[in-house]
Amino acid sequence: MRPIHLILFALGFALPLSLKAQDEIHEIPGITIEKVLIAEEIIDTGHEQLVEVTIRNATPNAHHLQVRLVITLPNRNIITFGNKEIVAGVNSDTTALIPYPIGKHDGGDFTVAVRVFDKKEVQILQTSKLQELIFYGLDRSIRNAPPAKRRVKKLSEEEEAQVAEKKKEEEKLATKVNFDPPDLKYERVTLLASSVLRGESTHVRLYIYNDGGNTANNVEYTLYWYFAQRPNRKVLFFRDRLGMIAPGEHKVLEVPLTIPGVEQKGKYQVLAKLDEDKTVAEINENNNEETTDQPLIFGDVALVFPADSYSFAEDGLFQFEWRSQKYNQFKLQISADSEFANEADSFYLPMGDHWTPSLKINPMKGEMPTMATALMESAETDHLYWRVVAKNSAGEITESQARKFLINLKPKE
């Protein structure tokens, strides 16, 4: 059989597919595709469909993997799209989120499958037919709703038997499920970038789930930001509606956020609410709010690495990185005090009156652990804090917010 030739997307890449290539799978025992989710089952053309792939690693080793989408287009052409690199952690689930752009007039059914490759470009996984998802790209210049006749999955006898068995189990619970109202909640609310400079934007990612037994329609969701030290002053920055969310359905949405440049530097939180006016009758009305799982750090110096609570190896490489547009001279300050109130409990790099124009500091091997461990011992703590002190050409000085970090100490001989 000849290979199926593919079309090329400007925002992704296409690889030729063949039946032979699909068969050459070298599985790694313990690594599986746990689930595949899409943000919208019906989505307007010209938008991006978010595809979330969860890889489960039940092995004792981390694995560098590449996740790619296999998209069957409305015209039945098949493309591979995206190449999301992830590190599947030991005995954990790792998520890859791939946005797939839909052409403005590419209306019709799309089928989403997934292939996973190791770092040597060897395919180790692909979705089963049961895991494949179908969504409809709605071109509103042609129609206002999908047609009655839609694309369906073609399952093997074994897969059809699995579906039939699952349907039997669902029918046993049908009486209870059919009469349960919906139950809407946020599974998570996260920030794509948790440290931004004045004038910069980040995105808020919303994971919405209907844990009830009935469909919820026309559900409003609202987002507010507020300064962490003034939680009563909440500012509404986004409001929209979900057309429909079915029982057991997950939706993943992204919303842009820009804190006005006139606001003071510091920590901000985002509060997300569902059905604020309580127009939907739910099983639980008290689980419709969620704040971001980490604060947004806003100011003139944005911290890049390490993330909060990062752990360095005592004999490893230490690195601290940041960004700034208004300041051009910097010092790294390390302290045992989260407020940096006591100079005796901190030290600077570079030391003394020296500053660096660099946006990164790599302390010399042995330099950081020696000073840091001495500081931890004197303060009787197992962690430290770091921040950046910045100076501009006019001599004005500012400080970034602080982040915690740890050092894995080698056992004493």
Residue extents of the structural domains in the chain: 19-143, 181-299, 302-408
What the block records as the tokens of 257 is 């956020």
Order of strands, sheet of 31-38, starting from the edge strand that comes earlier in the sequence: 31-38, 48-57, 92-101
CATH level 3 topology of 181-299 = Immunoglobulin-like (2.60.40)
The pLDDT of residue 270: 97
The conformational region for residue 60 under phi > 0 = left, psi -120 to 50 = alpha, else beta, is: alpha
The pLDDT of residue 186: 94
C-alpha to C-alpha distance for 81 and 109, rounded to whole angstroms: 16
User: Are the C-beta atoms of residues 251 and 40 closer than 8 Å to each other?
Assistant: yes
The pLDDT of residue 336: 92
Which residue type does 307 have?
Answer: A
Residue with tokens 């001279």: 329
Instruction: Look at the alpha carbons of 324, 327, 332, 333 in this order and tell me if their dihedral is positive or negative.
Output: negative
The pLDDT of residue 42: 92
Provide Rg for the chain, Cα atoms: 26
The total number of residues shown for the chain amounts to 413
C-alpha to C-alpha distance for 271 and 222, rounded to whole angstroms: 8
Regarding the domain with residue range 19-143, which homologous superfamily does it belong to in the CATH classification? Immunoglobulins (2.60.40.10)
C-alpha to C-alpha distance for 366 and 318, rounded to whole angstroms: 10
The DSSP element (H or E) to which 100 belongs, if any, is strand 92-101
User: Are the C-beta atoms of residues 210 and 184 closer than 8 Å to each other?
Assistant: yes
What the block records as the tokens of 156 is 């093997």
Q: Across-strand partners of 125?
A: 116
Kindly give the parts of the chain with pLDDT less than 50. 1-16, 18-22, 175-177
Same fold yes or no, 181-299 and 302-408: yes
Q: Across-strand partners of 346?
A: 335
Question: Smallest Cα–Cα separation from 226: which of 274, 289, 277, 304?
Answer: 289
The conformational region for residue 140 under phi > 0 = left, psi -120 to 50 = alpha, else beta, is: alpha
Which residue type does 193 have?
Answer: A
Q: Long-range pairs for 156-165 at CB < 8 Å and ≥24 separation?
A: 156/129, 159/128, 159/129, 159/130, 162/130, 163/130
What the block records as the tokens of 49 is 């469909």
Q: Measured between alpha carbons, how far is residue 227 from residues 29, 141, 175, 195, 233 in Å?
A: 47, 43, 47, 14, 8
C-alpha to C-alpha distance for 137 and 73, rounded to whole angstroms: 10
For the domain made up of 302-408, the CATH class stated in words is mainly beta
The pLDDT of residue 15: 47
User: Are the C-beta atoms of residues 64 and 118 closer than 8 Å to each other?
Assistant: yes
